[in-house]
């Protein structure tokens, strides 16, 4: 069945159009190198302005952005990091290679975002960082979370992979905490030709460290030596790097660099996609509004309704069904048999084998666990859906909900009930 759905969960292929193709033609026609050029600079400037951050540094994926963000913390044994369990595994994965202890913080039942009340009970004098996601594009309660963090000098990393185009009281995710990490994977709110990522923050020293790390230079403390260690050869003036090796030493080595450079082609496409961001997010929101209307018309359901001031970017469409036994399963099967691809995003991280192996497990985040195992459903919601597909989705959802909740459905298999 996978691949042959009338309404696929995510667009197979690309939603890039003529403007992106024209930008690619410009890149190919230019005499410049296809990397580390003007397109990347323009994309980053544009992105920083949009988010409202002093710096935006592009990298090759959202995962790399998160890895580098966590590296900036210089975590030591004894340190603790509080993490949301309701997110894609890439959010917390870099912490598997860190000496810090992870504490998973349960979520709010409607937004699926980190619950500030639980967070308050988890932070202590060892907490160095809070790692949260704006689940599905609904900004976490950042005022409450930042108040807790600021009181203790804790660094807040926002995983903004879903949140490009979202708003929080007029501000943008990626400027609300200390470090924002974005993804431009094919299925995200914009894409840089399939893969890409961005870090946003205000600190100049972090910009310097990330810029070195992503360009194959070491991350360390470099200090000038009063006397060069060896006489420098007579070089041309621009051969600075070579002469620099005679003038500086590393007094503290933190990490080898890597190559995480976003290509010029990807950056050029990203720049065009930024022009289309509002339109793309508006389409997501319009589809979500239609789905909300159908879901809310049935009993035992809940839809996501952020408070005024929070603009949901609808990277995901999430709803909940707390009906008679098996209703959620019947809904999933009913949608599937009508050609609608359904997902449950995401399996609670603390129950993944790699985290269980580190002592985490069932009971640690009861709200996240209950919702995933019993109530939670994600439906297709992306700009790649045609009007006809949205109509099909809306009708299928209405029928499948009625069927899942019908008293007769308890007695009869769903397929038989439909004849």
- Binding to ligand PLP (CB under 6 A): which residues in 12-71? 61-63
Angle of the 327-337 helix axis to the 387-405 helix axis, nearest 10: 140
159 binds ligand PLP (CB under 6 A): yes
- State the virtual CA torsion across 353, 316, 103, 149 in degrees, nearest 10: 160
Count of residues binding ligand PLP (CB under 6 A)? 14
Residue with smaller CB distance to ligand PLP, 315 or 338: 315
| Least CB distance to ligand PLP at residue 116 (A) | 19
Return the ∠ at Cα 248 (arms to 246 and 250), rounded to 5°.
125
- Binding to ligand PLP (CB under 6 A): which residues in 97-136? 133
Q: Which of 23, 161, 331, 390 contacts ligand PLP by CB under 6 A?
A: 161
CA proximity to 351, closest of 377, 367, 369, 375: 369
Question: Which class for 384: exposed (0-12), middle (13-18), buried (19 or more C-beta within 10 A)?
Answer: middle
- 310: tokens are 């929070």
Residue with smaller CB distance to ligand PLP, 91 or 155: 91
Q: Which of 175, 183, 304, 311 contacts ligand PLP by CB under 6 A?
A: 183
Contact map string, positions 192 to 231, toward ligand PLP, x by CB under 6 A = -----x----------------------------------
Exposure string for 75-97, b = 16+ CB within 10 A, e = fewer: beeebbbbbbbbbbebbbbbbee
Residue with smaller CB distance to ligand PLP, 133 or 313: 133
Q: d(Cα 3, Cα 12) in Å, to the nearest integer?
A: 8
Residue with smaller CB distance to ligand PLP, 137 or 323: 137
In 26-126, which ranges are E strands? 55-59, 80-83, 101-104
Helix (H, G, I), strand (E, B) or coil at 94: helix
| Least CB distance to ligand PLP at residue 162 (A) | 6
User: 119 near 364, Cβ under 8 Å?
Assistant: no
Distances (CA, A) of 407 to 112, 350, 399: 30, 36, 14
| Least CB distance to ligand PLP at residue 64 (A) | 7
Residue with smaller CB distance to ligand PLP, 190 or 397: 190
| Least CB distance to ligand PLP at residue 33 (A) | 24
Contact map string, positions 74 to 93, toward ligand PLP, x by CB under 6 A = -------------xx-xx--
- Interface ranges with ligand PLP (CB under 6 A): 61-63, 87-88, 90-91, 133, 159, 161-162, 183, 185, 197
């Amino acid at each position: 069945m996978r691949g042959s759905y009338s309404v696929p969960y995510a667009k197979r292929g690309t939603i890039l159009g003529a403007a992106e193709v024209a930008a690619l033609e410009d890149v190919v026609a230019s005499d410049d190198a296809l990397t580390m050029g003007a397109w990347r600079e323009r994309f980053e400037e544009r992105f920083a302005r949009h988010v409202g951050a002093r710096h935006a540094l592009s990298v090759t994926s959202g995962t790399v952005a998160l890895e580098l963000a966590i590296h900036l913390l210089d975590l030591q044994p004894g340190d603790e990091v509080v993490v949301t369990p309701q997110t894609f595994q890439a959010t917390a994965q870099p912490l598997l290679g860190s000496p810090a202890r992870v504490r998973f913080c349960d979520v709010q039942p409607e937004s699926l975002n980190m619950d500030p009340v639980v967070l308050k009970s988890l932070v202590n004098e060892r907490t160095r960082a809070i790692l949260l996601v704006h689940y599905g594009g609904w900004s976490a309660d950042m005022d409450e979370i930042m108040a807790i963090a600021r009181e203790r000098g804790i660094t807040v990393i926002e995983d903004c992979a879903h949140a490009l185009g979202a708003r929080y009281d007029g501000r943008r995710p990626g400027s609300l905490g200390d470090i924002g990490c974005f993804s431009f994977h094919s299925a995200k709110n914009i894409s840089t030709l399939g893969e890409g990522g961005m870090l946003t923050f205000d600190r100049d020293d972090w910009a310097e460290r990330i810029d070195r790390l992503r360009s194959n230079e070491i991350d360390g403390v470099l200090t000038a030596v009063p006397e060069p260690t060896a006489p420098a050869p007579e070089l041309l003036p621009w051969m600075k790097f070579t002469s620099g090796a005679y003038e500086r030493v590393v007094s503290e080595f933190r990490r080898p660099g890597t190559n995480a450079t976003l290509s010029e082609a990807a950056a050029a496409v990203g720049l065009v996609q930024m022009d289309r961001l509002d339109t793309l997010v508006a389409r997501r929101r319009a589809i979500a509004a239609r789905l909300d209307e159908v879901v809310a018309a049935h009993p035992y359901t809940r839809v996501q309704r952020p408070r005024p001031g929070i603009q949901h970017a609808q990277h995901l469409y999430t709803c909940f069904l707390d009906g008679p036994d098996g209703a959620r399963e019947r809904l999933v099967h009913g949608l599937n048999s009508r050609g609608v691809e359904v997902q449950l995003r995401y399996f609670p991280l603390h129950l993944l084998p790699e985290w269980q192996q580190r002592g985490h497990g069932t009971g640690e985040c009861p709200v996240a666990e209950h919702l995933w195992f019993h109530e939670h459903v994600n439906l297709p919601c992306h700009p790649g859906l045609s009007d006809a597909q949205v109509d099909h989705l809306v009708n299928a959802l209405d029928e499948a909900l009625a069927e899942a909740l019908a008293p007769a459905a308890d007695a009869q298999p769903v397929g038989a009930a439909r004849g």
